[in-house]
Structure 1
Amino acid sequence: MRENVIDFSEVFNDSFDTIRLNSATFYDRFYQVFREASPDIDRVFNGVDIEKQKDMLHIAIMHLVQFFVSKEADSYLLKVAYHHKKIYQVSDEMYDLFFDSLMQTLSEFYPKYGPTCRVAWKITLAPGLELMKNIADIYDQNILGDSIP
């Protein structure tokens, strides 16, 4: 890093490489932490194929990162956001627990984890998580037409 400059993209990318290199164990641990965060979350995942869910989560994180970069919500992200909010009724608090669980898990896998890393992830995922929290409002205003469900 340059002096007096924090490259949050570099911090994010370096820490995300840790997830990619340890994806199976990382996502196993993440779902354990996430399910322990709330009985409501545990109920949501009861009977769910966690192996499939781990693959879907990795893809979703990639779409959240792409949304951060482009500010364009592709059909995949819009559909996931809509389904989580309208069909699965994921609350804003659950998204906050998702992020906290992700960071707790990352702290166990990434030796350089600290406040800077957490902020790098927050900066990167916040736009997409805000979209997911607010997709119902966007859809209810018929901005997207009937294209999501």
Structure 2
Amino acid sequence: MSNQAECDLALFQASLQRATGDPAFYDLFYQRFIESSPNIARVFQNRDMVQLKKKLAITLEMVADTAEGKPGLMMYLEMLGKIHQRLEIKGAYFNGWRDALLETVAETDPDLDEATRQAWRQVIDDVTTRMLQG
């Protein structure tokens, strides 16, 4: 991993801890994401939101671990990609997911700056690309 990539990862991980440390983080994220599109709202209709919030927390931690290059997590991303394909989740929805996530981070991470925002974009884009290839 290059020095720049290590710096970006450190920015992402620190921001992730600050943002998810806000008790409202997951509610804010899902509210934004679900309200972003009627199609997305339909996908989440009648879903167990408590369970989805737990899964998102686990996924975000795994995103950080994947970006760090920890072994075995690529299989997890591939599995997530296949699950989303079976649910007919279109690739375009991932852009909305990323945007809602970044907006929520901007609201819940008081130290967010442009470099950290770019680190989030890079990590999330890398992971969603891998998932979509799954």
TM-score range for the pair, normalised by the shorter chain length: 0.7 to 0.9
Q: Deviations over 1:45-73 (max 9, x none)?
A: 00001010000011111222222221754
Greater radius of gyration (CA): 1
Cross-structure match for 1:114:
113
Normalised to the residue count of structure 2, the TM-score between the two structures is 0.85
- Unaligned 5+ segments in structure 2 are 1-5
- Indicate if the aligned counterparts of 2:20 and 2:108 stay in contact, CA closer than 8 A: no
Taking structure 1 as reference, are residues 74 and 26 closer, same or farther at Cα in structure 2, changes over 3 Å only? Answer: same
Mapping 1:36-55, distance limit 5 Å: 36-55=35-54
- Unaligned 5+ segments in structure 1 are 1-5, 136-149
Question: Greater helix percent: which structure?
Answer: 2
Cross-structure match for 2:21:
21
Aligned-pair identity (%): 26
- Indicate if the aligned counterparts of 1:65 and 1:125 stay in contact, CA closer than 8 A: no
Normalised to the residue count of structure 1, the TM-score between the two structures is 0.77
* Aligned length in residues: 128
Q: Secondary structure at the match of 2:24?
A: helix
Taking structure 1 as reference, are residues 50 and 35 closer, same or farther at Cα in structure 2, changes over 3 Å only? Answer: same
Taking structure 1 as reference, are residues 67 and 10 closer, same or farther at Cα in structure 2, changes over 3 Å only? Answer: closer
- Indicate if the aligned counterparts of 2:77 and 2:130 stay in contact, CA closer than 8 A: no
